[in-house]
Amino acid sequence: MASVEAEKFLSYEAGPEVEEFANALDDCLSPPLSNEERRERILDLPRKYYENALRRLAQVRPRMMRNGQDDVDMDADDDVANSNPASAELVKRLEREAQTWDLLRRLLPLRYTSSDNRQSASKTEHSSVDSGDLFKSFLASDSSARERQAVIQWLQSNASSGPDIDELAHELQQNADRGDIIAHGWLHTRSSIKLRKSVTAWPHLLDRQSPAIATSFHTSDGSPLVTQLDPDAATRQGRKLEPQDEYFERAIWLGCWEHLRRGSSLDTIREWCQERTEMWRAISTSAILLSADDSQEVTDTKPASLALWRRMCFSLSRSGGCDDYERAVYGVLSGDIPSVEKVALNWDDFLFANYNALLRTQLDNYILGQCPADVASNLTQSFPSFDAVQFHGEPRTVDMRLIRALEANPQIKDEANEPNKALQASLISKEIGQHLYQQGLIISSGANQNESTLYRSKPSKLEVNKERFFQSTQHYGLRIVAHIYLLINLMDKLNSKDDSLAPAFSPPEMRRSQQNLIAGYANYLRLAEFHELIPLYCSILEPPRSYEVLSYNLIHENEASRRLLQLRLIRKAGIDVLGFVKTQAWLLFNDLGPAQHGCPAKEGFSIIEPGPPTSRSGRPVRPDFFGDDERFVDQAHENLIRSLEWLVLVQETWPNVLSMGTKIYKFFLRNMHLSAARQLMKRVPFSEVLHAATEESGDEMELYEDIPEFWARQLDRRGIRDVTPQQALSDARNFRELENLVRALDSLETVASLAELTNEDQKKKREFWNAIGDEVKNTKENMQPLLKNWLLVGIEGK
């Protein structure tokens, strides 16, 4: 239950990273840059996001340590997990996020190489051949090898953030029964051999004694004991070490395995082995060590010797050694898979085993190519090796099939379906487009009723394993996938290549579903009150989708100053402001649904009280025929009015205010939405539109001219060519007359309401009669236009 509550809490967290991510993105998009400069900045974004995640992780870990000091008798990890599950979950989440950005920062430059980088790689290949560095020459000649090396180094980096190696071997070291002594080899076995020599007074090697005596030489648990102390004595003799030394040996090989798994440099491994007086182990790893920092050069060793060394390591991984970790060490060095997978604990370990084998097989083929033909033939025929390329089959699809195999592995199936790991897997296997498509489906399917119009996605028949994707409430995950989408999308645009996320042969809904990630993230920014960031992310999308996402996320702004700020930000982001405000009005109008046949107001609307007239009052006007609460307006109708308020702010769109406003007035009146019509009358008056068109202040009657020439001048002033003067005249006339109709109805309702609320005490007050007089005067003024053929011109013109 605690983990569920922690997840819910973390899902809605909105920290400073939201703004920091946006600022880094803005730095790539806003300045005028050349394509190459913009490319470099975009490729640098994953590094910035990676470092950002590391900083957040570093801030959380000390807090966890402080929280974990309550009970020093408990294991530290258990203490933290039990006392603060939210912090423990946050640490895991940040570690996974940092790993994702680390992977992306390594892969993206390799997949989007510029012409300069390709020329540089070619020069590197020639210079590496000249200098004799086989490994660098090999990498320069094979792009798939460079990518696999990047993945291996990423896996090594992930492993290096784990517990200290000495901590991992601590239990084995304790079982070795040697205190804090980590050097001087097999102490207990050496003592047993010395004791046997002293008892038998034999000064030579024990195995030179009679066979019967050698056969009776056993360990403390009854197994045959080695008679010599060289490293391969146990394998050569088929005998065992003392149990304590077997623990020591296992601890040593565990450490060597961890160093190889973490990509330690040869200097680090040499220093670690020297502390334990086991330098031979460092030497055995030194021929071709795939370190995380690219520190090793393969320059002094002949290709034939390297090929032979690999085959000897392979032989030891399959038939040598007394421990799984020892065989795994030689399995890593030789590029074997089964021996390495035997000690694998998680998804990363299994992927490392396979990618290490693939890369070393490719390297081995390259090295054999540098050998004379007869030498290469003799090596391959005389000494077996593991061919991972052949084992995995078709090279073009090996990455996808490998990821599928890991997902089916029962040992790591749950981890493989974790959203962060599934995302990382899709990046490695180059299936990121399909993954983001399915992620978009998950986000849109989890939308509530208010958000459904934002995505406008049709229900998909595709069956998706939801466990593998971030849910719509996991906003931290939405931030990650949205930024991965925009990074790849921006690189595709810069490279002028086919959309790698949604190729031409993909279904049409694929691109829209992927864009839902940006739409969903923009919606999250609105909910988190980061409204100023929304235009930046919408600029990633192409029109009209960018207009749609802006429309639904900014329609909630109800202050003119905030709207003007947003319009400036939209223009800065490179989005067409005119296109946005026009699209917004049409979108919200179309959301009302198809036009209804008939006119409900004809049958249901009446402002006169039912019943026969009275001699004193006749048939009075119904009070409150607009509705009981004049402030209540349906949200869809409120959004329509707001869309006109947005339109008024852009001076070039005043013709659209008139035409769209007329449609909205008709809809409100036809369907008896009188409160909405009154709000429209008050908030978007004709006088304001007229001022926007003429750019002059003054009384409406002084400015307005009901002739085409007047509107022609206003259109010419703004350079508006898609509206004729006659159309502008017609829209203005209809808008103005419909507004006056609503104004007249509003005055009638006010007078009727005052009449109903009066009592004898109020009738004695002068203020009451003054208010009645003012309202009657307003009603007469508002009714006058309706008595002079208003509204008839537009009707008769149709």
DSSP of 758-770, one letter per residue? --HHHHT-HHHHH
Domain boundary among 82, 109, 136: 109
Give the per-residue pLDDT at 358. 97
- The number of residues in the chain equals 798
Q: Among residues 524, 495, 500, 497, which one has the least CA distance to residue 510?
A: 500
Neighbouring-strand partners of residue 618: 614
Domain contains 771: yes
Give the per-residue pLDDT at 81. 45
Domain span at 17: 1-109
- Identify whether residues 74 and 6 lie together within a single domain: yes
Peptide bond into 338 cis (omega under 30): no
How far apart, in Å, are the Cα atoms of 627 and each of 301, 685, 717, 718?
92, 21, 42, 41
Give the per-residue pLDDT at 15. 87
- Backbone Cα Rg of the chain: 39
Domain contains 32: yes
Q: How many domains does the chain have?
A: 3
Round to whole Å and give the CA distance between 632 and 636. 12
C-beta of residue 442 within 8 angstroms of C-beta of residue 423: no
User: Which distant-in-sequence residues (6+ apart) come within 8 Å of 527 by Cβ?
Assistant: none
Round to whole Å and give the CA distance between 184 and 281. 14
C-beta of residue 439 within 8 angstroms of C-beta of residue 371: no
C-beta of residue 339 within 8 angstroms of C-beta of residue 318: yes
Residue 608 sits at φ, ψ, to 5 deg, of: -100, 140
- Identify whether residues 1 and 104 lie together within a single domain: yes
Give the per-residue pLDDT at 73. 43
C-beta of residue 672 within 8 angstroms of C-beta of residue 658: no
The three-class DSSP label of residue 633 is coil
- Identify whether residues 456 and 589 lie together within a single domain: no
Domain contains 462: yes
Q: What is the pTM of this model?
A: 0.87
Domain contains 238: no
User: Which distant-in-sequence residues (6+ apart) come within 8 Å of 239 by Cβ?
Assistant: 223, 224, 225, 226, 227, 233
Domain boundary among 522, 537, 565: 565
- Identify whether residues 505 and 650 lie together within a single domain: no
Q: What percent of the chain has pLDDT over 90?
A: 53
- Identify whether residues 528 and 615 lie together within a single domain: no
- Identify whether residues 611 and 554 lie together within a single domain: no
Max distance between CA atoms of the chain, in angstroms, equals 142
C-beta of residue 335 within 8 angstroms of C-beta of residue 364: yes
Give the residues of the chain that fall short of pLDDT 50: 1-12, 70-82, 128-131
